[in-house]
């Protein structure tokens, strides 16, 4: 049976169909989880996709974290379920307290939309288990607020516990320690700014997002 991935849809999300398409292309099954419903509907894995949830008013993710579905996502994560936040979804997960740190405006105040070179730093997460350590991946970024920041204590903890799963080879946005993606202590919640769902075929310019999404599908099977 194929892994059922729930893709959270907030008003203002705009990458949900890309994620669904990517998941189905890789042999999984995907469905929308409406933000106003307080359930994850028994899915095997959850993706919080990119976009501008609730218009990004106040701060990206600040209002989205109060959507009814987020309590269900938190419960799902608490019970060990695989949760991945991509771009705006990463911002939502930090605001919800499921991941540490915060995402600020890019250094240089430019909206960035370009392919980025990533290095896999840890394969011990639901997003990177099917990649290899040190592997270089070319995955697009598309954000204005992707400048990862956290307290020095949090950074030390992330480094010591091998929780920085992806780094930029050439830091585009000013993120502390070149961080492109981090995971929680349980390694089942991961957030990243790049868009693996937009890199699943050579026709799209890169298929380097495939091992990342396959990791999520595999984590869903294990659950």
Q: Which residues bind another protein (CB under 8 A)?
A: 58-59, 62, 66, 94-95, 100-102, 104-109, 147, 149-151, 174
Catalytic residue (choose from 15, 35, 87, 145): 87
Ramachandran quadrant class, 26 (left: phi over 0; alpha: psi -120 to 50; beta: rest)? alpha
Q: Which of 35, 54, 143, 195 is catalytic?
A: 195
Question: Which CB sits closer to another protein, 91 or 128?
Answer: 91
Q: Using CB atoms within 10 A of its CB, is residue 96 exposed (0-12), middle (13-18) or buried (19+)? A: buried
**24 vs 107 by CB, closer to another protein:** 107
143 is catalytic: no
Q: Work out the number of other CB atoms within 10 angstroms of the CB of residue 132.
A: 9
Output the smallest distance, CB 144 to another protein, in A. 10
The residue among 72 and 103 lying less far from another protein, judged by its C-beta, is 103
Helix H or strand E segment including 7: strand 4-9
Q: How many whole angstroms separate alpha carbon 190 and alpha carbon 52?
A: 19
Shortest distance in whole angstroms from residue 107 CB to another protein: 5
87 included as an active-site residue: yes
What are the start-end ranges of the E strands in 35-188? Answer: 45-48, 82-86, 102-104, 112-120, 136-143, 147-149, 164-168, 179-183
Dist CA 49 CA 61 (whole Å): 12
**C-beta of 83: minimal distance to another protein in Å?**
19
Is position 197 annotated as part of the catalytic site? yes
CB of 213 to another protein, least distance (A): 28
Q: Which is nearer to another protein, 95 or 197 (CB)?
A: 95
Q: Which two tokens stand for residue 120?
A: 């896999």
**Catalytic positions, written as ranges:** 87, 195, 197
């Amino acid at each position: 049976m194929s892994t059922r991935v729930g893709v959270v849809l907030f008003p203002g999300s705009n990458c949900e169909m890309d994620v669904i398409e990517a998941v189905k292309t890789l042999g999984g099954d995907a469905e929308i989880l409406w933000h106003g419903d307080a359930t994850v509907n028994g899915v095997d894995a959850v993706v919080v996709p990119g976009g501008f949830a609730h218009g990004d008013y106040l701060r990206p993710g600040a209002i989205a974290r109060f959507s009814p579905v987020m309590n269900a996502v938190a419960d799902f994560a608490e019970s060990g379920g695989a949760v991945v936040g991509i771009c705006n979804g990463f911002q939502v997960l930090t605001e919800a307290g499921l991941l540490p740190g915060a995402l600020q405006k890019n250094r240089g105040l430019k909206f960035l939309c370009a392919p980025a070179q990533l290095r896999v730093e840890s394969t011990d997460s639901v997003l990177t288990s099917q990649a290899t350590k040190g592997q270089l991946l070319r995955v697009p970024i598309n954000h204005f607020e992707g400048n990862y920041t956290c307290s020095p204590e949090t950074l030390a903890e992330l480094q010591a516990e091998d929780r920085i799963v992806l780094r930029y080879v050439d830091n585009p946005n000013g993120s502390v320690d070149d961080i492109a993606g981090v995971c929680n202590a349980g390694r089942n919640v991961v957030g990243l700014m790049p868009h693996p769902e937009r890199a699943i075929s050579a026709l799209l310019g890169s298929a380097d997002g495939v091992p990342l999404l396959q990791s999520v599908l595999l984590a869903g099977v294990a659950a």
